[in-house]
A and B are shown apart, each in its own frame.
Chain A
Amino acid sequence: MTIKKTLKTTLAALALVAVAAPAQADGELFIYNWSNYIPPDLLKRFEAETGIDVTLDVYDSNETMLAKLQAGATGYDIIVPSDYIVPRLIEEGIIQAINTKSMENVGNVRPAFQSPYYDPDLEYTAPYMWGTTGYSYDADRVPGGEVEDSWGPFFKPAEELKGQVVALNDVSELYTAAAYYLGYGRCTESATEAQDILNLLLAQKPYLAMYQSDGTIERMIAGEVIMHQQWNGAAHRTKMERPSVTFVYPREGVPYWADNLAVPTGARNPDNAKVFINWMMAPQNAAEVSNYTGYMNAIDGSGEFLDEALKADPAVNTPPEYQDRLRANTPCSAKAIDLRDKVWTKLKK
């Protein structure tokens, strides 16, 4: 093939692409989600059912996602921000109004998620997954085979558990749990209350094996420790391997977080994004995500599509009597965060 001919074919191919591209553009959807947070098979089914081509990109924290969008990344049609960061996304104009209430499947959303504090009218977001942070213990290895449903056994462990307890290495999660145990708000601005929290954490420290957020599942399965502050989805996966592990919903209050579907302002395919969000609010689709992630969705009627093991595990399928123990992670003032930070530094100095 001569150079001239090659050039000609290349040009022809380019022309073809150029013609084809706009036709394809209205069939695309770019999702920017947490890693390992949506089943690939489900995306394939979405493509098959709607004819929309999905491209998935992933991030590891809300801050990463925010930084990328603030730096001007466009081209994402769907992002999955957590509760506390949503007000900021709205305030800074990073996400656009999608009026979830007008979508066909919005009726499936559980009443508890119809009016979240971060988006009271579901104007900008639709609920995706949610979970709680309690703690789990190995019933075979605690004195008496059971602990009461309080933060007490975690913050003031029995002598037998000394060096066998792990707290999450996460200032927000640990501080919040300690505040609830003492009957304070997680965003307390009172120095004396912060001092009480510090005293509680300092008294707990000798009983802890470590502060670690990484590898909670493996550590409990291997039996390295007996008690572990843990996310409920992780507790479920632990229980699959070590059935004696029980997840506790402390009566003083359990923090919960909720992740949401939202559409960035710069989205190229906002209509497809709305199709996707509506599609995700169908019970079977939401259930498939739960089966994959181990976290609960906010869709009524998804129960019948859940894996039996997931449905039977109270860690994931929160029993109705515990619903009123769940507390939202509302954002704290700078003053409260400074206090929290001081407590953390003094705890670990």
Chain B
Amino acid sequence: MLLDLPRRSPAVARLLLIGPGIAVIGLFMLIPLGLMAYVSFLDRGAYGGVVWDQHTVEAYTSFLFERNLDDSLTFNTDYLQIYLRSFLLSLSTTLIALLVGFPVALYMSLAPAKWRNLLVFLVTVPFWTNLLVRNYAWILLLRTNGLIDQWAAGLGLIGPGESVSILYTPWAITIGLTYSFMPFMVLPIYASLEKLDFRLVEAAYDLGATRLKALARVIVPLSLPGIAAGSILVFIPSLGSYVTPELLGGSKGLMIGNLIQLQFAASRNWPFGAALAFTLLAMVLIAMVLYLTRFRKLPE
């Protein structure tokens, strides 16, 4: 009787089918996010944590304003500067990943079909190792008298005992992030290039296009969905990255991830940490919505 219900009522059947999906989204996304949003409006506890029944917007006010000794507010760009730095760094990471990743994806899609799966497999190999281990590997490569210094000295680019000094600079963070997220760029582009009908490229040649022109006018526009997906997949995790800036950067300038971590640990200001995370989320969401609405207008 009860088991018959889904078959007799399509509404119940639908509910049963969507149910698990909704439960997962609710359990693993909406509840934690809602909790974070709620915490950002609470008063901070003396030892960290929050006071559950004291509500305030102090956390959001202090993102933009500084409270003077006389309790008046002045505009404060400290946190905006940290956000701007993170955005710029993520942007350069995305650009470099695109410049390196696109040719790789193109090469993969042009390889004989029997090799393609092996190439895809090779791109994902770095994921077998923990992110932390891969970042430490970069420390060994980039450090003073590390492998890169030895190679540079061997090639005569730098004198003996000198160093290229990349580690603990923003460059090291960019290298580390680009390396970590490269597969996220390569795979979506490859997915869209693999479906590309290469007869269109031949047609472009027949119509007198040079190789560069065929690339710019035919291949790139047709792989735009992949490029967009790849860029988003690299840009967003870069923005919130914590381990790589912590290990490879010299920490002379804070990144968003490290700023948030600081609030939950040493500063014992959980509401502000939650507010910072939520502000980041809002910015990313707005950027995504703008980007996607603009994207959908492009011709298919």
Contacts and interface: CB of A to CB of B under 8 A. Distances in A.
B252 A172 contact: no
Interface of B: 44, 46-48, 66, 69, 77-79, 81-82, 139, 143-145, 168, 246-247, 249-254, 259, 262, 265-269
Dominant SS among interface residues on chain B: loop
Closest 6 CB pairs of A and B: A210-B250, A211-B251, A210-B168, A349-B78, A341-B267, A348-B254
A211 to B, nearest CB: 4
A191 interface: yes
Interface string A33-69: 0000000000000000000000000000001000000
Given A211-B250, A215-B139, A334 B168 contact: no
A144 to B, nearest CB: 23
A208 B252 contact: yes
Contact of B267 (A88, A208, A337): A337
A159 interface: no
24 contacts: A63-B48, A169-B246, A170-B266, A171-B262, A171-B266, A171-B267, A210-B252, A211-B250, A211-B252, A212-B168, A215-B139, A222-B143, A224-B143, A334-B268, A338-B267, A341-B266, A341-B267, A341-B269, A345-B78, A345-B82, A345-B259, A346-B78, A348-B254, A349-B253
Contacts, number: 69
B292 to A, nearest CB: 32
Contacts of B250: 209-212
Interface string A129-170: 000000000000000000000000000000000000000011
Given A345-B78, A349-B253, A209 B266 contact: no
A334 B252 contact: no
Interface of A: 63, 88, 169-172, 191, 205, 208-212, 214-215, 222-224, 334, 337-338, 340-342, 344-346, 348-349
Contacts of B66: 342
A272 B176 CA distance: 48
A210 B144 CA distance: 14
Contacts of B46: 334
Given A209-B168, A215-B139, A224-B143, A348 B269 contact: no
